[in-house]
């Protein structure tokens, strides 16, 4: 297995047809801050996170995942990882070079096995951030991203072999087999998860809240605002985190969560959880049932950006 060079998840970049509507949702409803940008391109920060931005939205005729970005410790590690990927036959979008996005830094991009664009970056300047106060129902940081895959076993193998991810837990169903893999790149239970789906797409992007009270306040604010809820509030067994899933204006699922489990990697053994058991999906029993509606919304639209690098 590749030495673990990736340190953490940095940001998820989305392309959407209606930039203004998406920006209004993420700032005025979801609770992110527009930190930088220009016409049709906005970089959104979480007030409690040192990352320059956690979400980027770009106006485009086609909805897609532009890229998923991970950090490494320094430029030397970026160079080493790029060389390893190229030597293994992974298709690079560009060689390591100085970045011109907020915070600058150094990095490169490549396509994963299904054609998603992934960015690796180092030496990105940190953002002046602050402590989120009690009662503030806005995201502290980006928690994790879940992708849909038509070949989840191969996608899991790609991220384990080439990027050093490790399996934390698996969700299975007696009739459908293994359905979701939770992968970690640090002590957090998962920074990436891979779900079985008929097509590659975004499953959801998750944002960590300060605590249970702030998580519930945020959930309630979204409900009062009339944002369509997909699933929740509840608490998963895998990761032990809370969940409230909503749809953004373009049908992407976004999640408020809190208390994602931090594990002892030296002693952790992956579990195989049967999600046909209600307490696996929701330990509390407060969420609406996992059903075809929830699954269909989570499938999202097929990603139009496979093996096509974003223009910025």
Element holding 215 (H helix, E strand): helix 212-224
- Looking at residue 95, its pLDDT comes to 97
Does residue 163 sit within a domain?
Answer: yes
Q: Does 276 map to a domain?
A: yes
Q: What is the pLDDT of residue 25?
A: 98
Would you say residue 136 lies in a domain?
no
Q: Is residue 135 part of a domain?
A: no
Same domain, 41 and 108: yes
Question: Which residues pair with residue 201 across a beta bridge?
Answer: 148
If DSSP codes are grouped into helix, strand and coil, which group holds residue 164? coil
Task: Indicate whether 98 and 152 sit together in one domain.
Answer: no
Residue 96 lies in domain: 6-122
Q: Is residue 128 part of a domain?
A: no
Alpha carbons within 13 A on the beta-carbon side of 115:
14
Are residues 267 and 194 both part of a single domain? yes
pLDDT at 2: 53
Sign of CA dihedral 205, 15, 223, 216: positive
| 184, 90: one domain | no
* 250 lies in the same domain as 282: yes
pLDDT value, residue 3: 79
DSSP 245-286: EEE-TTS-EEEEE--PPB--TTT---EEEETTSHHHH-SSS-
Cα–Cα distance measured from residue 229 to residue 245, given in angstroms and rounded to the nearest whole number: 6
Examine residue 185 and state whether it is found in any structural domain, yes or no.
Answer: yes
Report pTM.
0.97
- Look at residue 134 and tell me if it is in a domain: no
Instruction: Give the burial string for 267-291 (b: 16+ CB within 10 Å, else e).
Output: ebeeeebebeeeebbbeeeebeebe
CATH number, domain of 211, equals: 3.10.180.10
* Judgement on whether residues 192 and 295 belong to the same structural domain of the protein: yes
pLDDT tens for the chain, 312 residues long, are: 457 999 999 999 999 999 999 999 999 999 999 999 999 999 999 999 999 999 999 999 999 999 999 999 999 999 999 999 999 999 999 999 999 999 999 999 999 999 999 999 999 999 999 999 999 999 999 999 999 999 999 999 999 999 999 999 999 999 999 999 999 999 999 999 999 999 999 999 999 999 999 999 999 999 999 999 999 999 999 999 999 999 999 999 999 999 999 999 999 999 999 999 999 999 999 999 888 888 888 999 999 999 999 999
Say if CB 6 and CB 70 are below 8 A apart. yes
Single residue among 63, 91, 122 that ends a domain in this structure: 122
Q: Are residues 148 and 89 in the same domain?
A: no
Residue 231 tokens read as 């699933």
- My answer on whether 33 and 117 are in the same domain is yes
- Same domain, yes or no: 146 and 279: yes
Q: Based on the structure, what is the number of domains in the chain?
A: 2
Is residue 70 assigned to a domain? yes
Residue 38: the pLDDT is 93
DSSP class of residue 159?
H
Q: Are residues 164 and 267 in the same domain?
A: yes
One domain for residues 174 and 247? yes
Whether 198 and 293 share a structural domain: yes
Q: Is 139 helix (H, G, I), strand (E, B) or coil?
A: coil
Which residue among 122, 154, 179 closes a domain? 122
Q: Which of 89, 122, 155 is the last residue of a domain?
A: 122
What is d(CA 47, CA 56) in angstroms, rounded to the nearest whole number? 15
């Amino acid at each position: 297995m590749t030495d673990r060079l990736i340190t953490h998840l940095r940001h998820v970049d989305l392309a959407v047809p209606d930039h203004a509507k998406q920006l209004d949702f993420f700032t005025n409803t979801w609770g992110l801050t527009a930190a930088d940008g220009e016409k049709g391109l906005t970089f959104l920060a979480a007030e409690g996170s040192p990352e320059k931005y956690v979400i980027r939205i770009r106006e485009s005729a086609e909805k897609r995942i532009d890229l998923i970005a991970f950090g490494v410790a320094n430029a030397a590690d970026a160079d080493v990882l790029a060389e390893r990927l190229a030597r293994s036959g992974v298709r690079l979008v560009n060689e390591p070079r100085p970045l011109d996005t907020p915070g600058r830094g150094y990095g490169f991009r490549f396509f994963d096995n299904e054609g998603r664009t992934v960015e690796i970056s180092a030496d990105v300047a940190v953002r002046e951030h602050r402590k989120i106060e009690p009662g503030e129902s806005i995201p502290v940081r980006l928690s994790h991203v879940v992708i849909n895959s038509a070949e989840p076993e191969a996608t899991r193998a790609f991220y384990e072999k080439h990027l050093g991810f490790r399996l934390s837990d698996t969700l299975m169903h007696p009739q459908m087999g293994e359905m979701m893999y939770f992968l970690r790149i640090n002590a957090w239970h998962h920074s990436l998860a891979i779900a079985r789906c008929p097509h590659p797409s975004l499953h959801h992007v998750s944002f960590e809240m300060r605590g249970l009270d702030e998580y519930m306040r945020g959930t309630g604010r979204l409900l009062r605002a009339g944002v369509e809820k997909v699933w929740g509030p509840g608490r998963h067994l895998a990761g032990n985190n809370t969940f409230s899933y909503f749809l953004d204006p373009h049908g992407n699922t976004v999640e408020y969560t809190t208390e994602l489990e931090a594990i002892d990697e030296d002693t952790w053994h992956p579990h195989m959880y049967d999600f046909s058991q209600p307490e696996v999906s929701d330990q509390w029993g407060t969420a609406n049932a996992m059903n075809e509606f929830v699954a269909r919304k989570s499938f999202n639209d097929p990603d139009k950006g496979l093996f096509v690098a974003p223009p910025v």
